[in-house]
Amino acid sequence: MKLQLWKEAIKEVAALAGFHLIRNENEAKFIEGIVQDISRFIESHSYLPVAKYPTGLASQLRDIMNLHLRLGTNDVRMVGILGLGGIGKTSLAKAIWNSIAFRFEASCFLANISDHSNRGRGLVRLQETLYSKIFRGRSSLEIDSIDSGINIIKRILHSKRVLLILDGVDHITQLDTLAGACDWFGEGSRIIITTRDQHLLTAHGVDSTYKMKSLNYHDALQLFCRHAFKKQKPVEGYDKFVEQIISYAGGLPLALTVFGSDLYGRSESEWKSSLDKYKQIPHQDIQKILQTSYDRLSEEEKNVFLDIACFFNGQLQLDDVIIKILDSSGFLPNSSIPRLREKCLISEFDGRLQMHNLLRDMGREIVRQESLENPGARSRLFFHEDVREVLEHDTVSQIKISFN
């Protein structure tokens, strides 16, 4: 592998064009032009901050580089990075950028594409940003429409070896607008797409997809402790709390970072009360990020998601019984469940529906927010005390109740 990379690097160097001083040209201005060009090159390949503590990232970077990106080949490859919110997709994409951007003739990292594309002329502005970054800030262009932008991008990228990273993609139109097909790009180009939606990658014909892994116990412990104690190990007396938090966070870097930062410098009693609170009312920083996936679902998918979060998570097999229960409510489970799986909101293990602890609690918090003071006014009841209160006081006319 290393020998092949060296061979490719030597070929690249041999093909590089240098600077040529034209006869009678002012040497001082010529040198100044070289300096400016190099400065723009360095700026366009600037280091991107990955994470304060990039624990567990090195192994995932190694896997995607060796198994998916395959830089030693001259084909054009589109590679997806897939996973639920907060699992580290953007961090991995930044680590890739820092490792290989300098090897490409042109490069561009477009962040938060979902957010930017929803603003006025969002997709056109992204096309303009792509154009500017490809030329390292030496040129800018006002694009009239998406279609004209597509033609311009295809024309300027067709002969260039490009690294393009599209971060936070949530709609196929974004890909059609910025990286419509492999033949838009020159030989050896790599297009990396981070998303929470498997179907989006499939529909766009992405060559391969890297599925983000949750942190293992060792890495999760180290990441949490670095934030909670500024050390790699727990402080004496806090071990039992740490174990509970590691288990609850389920290897999600976002949660481990948020919980650790929130608990830093607090007493044991504060740790205990905070842990109880996390399980009853999700931390708002985690809720906000995870809920964006829920907000993008159809109404049928939202209802199936909430039913699984409140009643079916890990308890029942995905069989005709669950399908009939969900179908009786008109939620179209045969299409909704596969969509939830594609969006990294549920998984299936040994025939059982599985949902991450934090996704489950995010769903339950959505139901709780329907009526904070009156459980009987909520669409679903899953907490036994709420069920008892509603049944004893006869405060509900129609509701779904979990008797587990």
Spatial neighbors of 242 by CB under 8 A, at least 6 apart, are 221, 224, 225, 228, 234
Q: Which residues of 243-278 are buried (b: 16+ CB within 10 A; e: fewer)?
A: ebbbebbbbbbbbbbbbbebbeeeeeeebeebbeeb
Q: Is residue 113 domain-shared with residue 191, that is, in the same domain?
A: yes
Q: Is residue 53 domain-shared with residue 93, that is, in the same domain?
A: yes
- Tell me the two tokens of residue 242: 């740490």
- Which among 73, 387, 312 has a CA at the least distance from the CA of 208? 73
Among residues 162, 191, 211, the one where a domain terminates is 211
pLDDT at 332: 79
Neighbours of 21 (CB within 10 A): 11
Q: Is residue 128 domain-shared with residue 256, that is, in the same domain?
A: no
% of the chain exceeding 90 in pLDDT: 66
Q: Is residue 46 domain-shared with residue 184, that is, in the same domain?
A: yes
For residues 172 and 203, is the Cβ–Cβ distance under 8 A? Answer: yes
Q: Is residue 179 domain-shared with residue 126, that is, in the same domain?
A: yes
pLDDT at 26: 74
Residue length of the chain:
404
Does the pLDDT of residue 348 top 70, yes or no? yes
Q: Is residue 185 domain-shared with residue 269, that is, in the same domain?
A: no
Q: Which domain holds residue 227?
A: 217-280
For residues 390 and 398, is the Cβ–Cβ distance under 8 A? Answer: no
As a whole number of angstroms, the distance between CA 208 and CA 64 comes to 10
Q: What is the CATH number of the domain that holds 107?
A: 3.40.50.300
Q: Tokens 């948020």, residue?
A: 258
Q: Is residue 254 domain-shared with residue 118, that is, in the same domain?
A: no
* Tens-digit pLDDT profile for residues 59-81: 999 999 999 999 989 999 999 99
Grade residue 36 by pLDDT with cuts at 50, 70 and 90.
low
As a whole number of angstroms, the distance between CA 311 and CA 232 comes to 37
* Tens-digit pLDDT profile for residues 135-169: 876 667 889 999 999 999 999 999 999 999 999 99
- Tell me the two tokens of residue 387: 């069920």
| DSSP letters for 250-268 | TT-HHHHHHHHHHHTT--H
Q: Using only C-alpha atoms, what is the Rg of the chain?
A: 25
As a whole number of angstroms, the distance between CA 339 and CA 331 comes to 13
Report CA 160 to chain centroid distance, whole Å.
Answer: 27
| Domain-embedded: residue 24 | no
pLDDT at 13: 53
pLDDT at 20: 64
Element (H, E) at 97: helix 89-100
Does the pLDDT of residue 51 top 70, yes or no? yes
The residues with which 210 forms a beta bridge, in sequence order, are 81
Residue 143 dihedral angles phi and psi, to the nearest 5°: -95, 135
Give the chain's domain count. Answer: 2
Q: Is residue 55 domain-shared with residue 132, that is, in the same domain?
A: yes
Q: Is residue 155 domain-shared with residue 240, that is, in the same domain?
A: no
As a whole number of angstroms, the distance between CA 3 and CA 6 comes to 5
Averaged pLDDT for residues 373-402: 74
* Tens-digit pLDDT profile for residues 208-238: 999 999 999 999 999 999 999 999 999 999 9
β-strand pairing of 347-349 with 352-354: antiparallel
| Domain-embedded: residue 54 | yes
| Domain-embedded: residue 361 | no
Q: Is residue 41 domain-shared with residue 61, that is, in the same domain?
A: yes
> Which is it for the CA torsion 230, 232, 235, 239, positive or negative?
positive
Report CA 253 to chain centroid distance, whole Å.
Answer: 12
Q: Is residue 200 domain-shared with residue 226, that is, in the same domain?
A: no
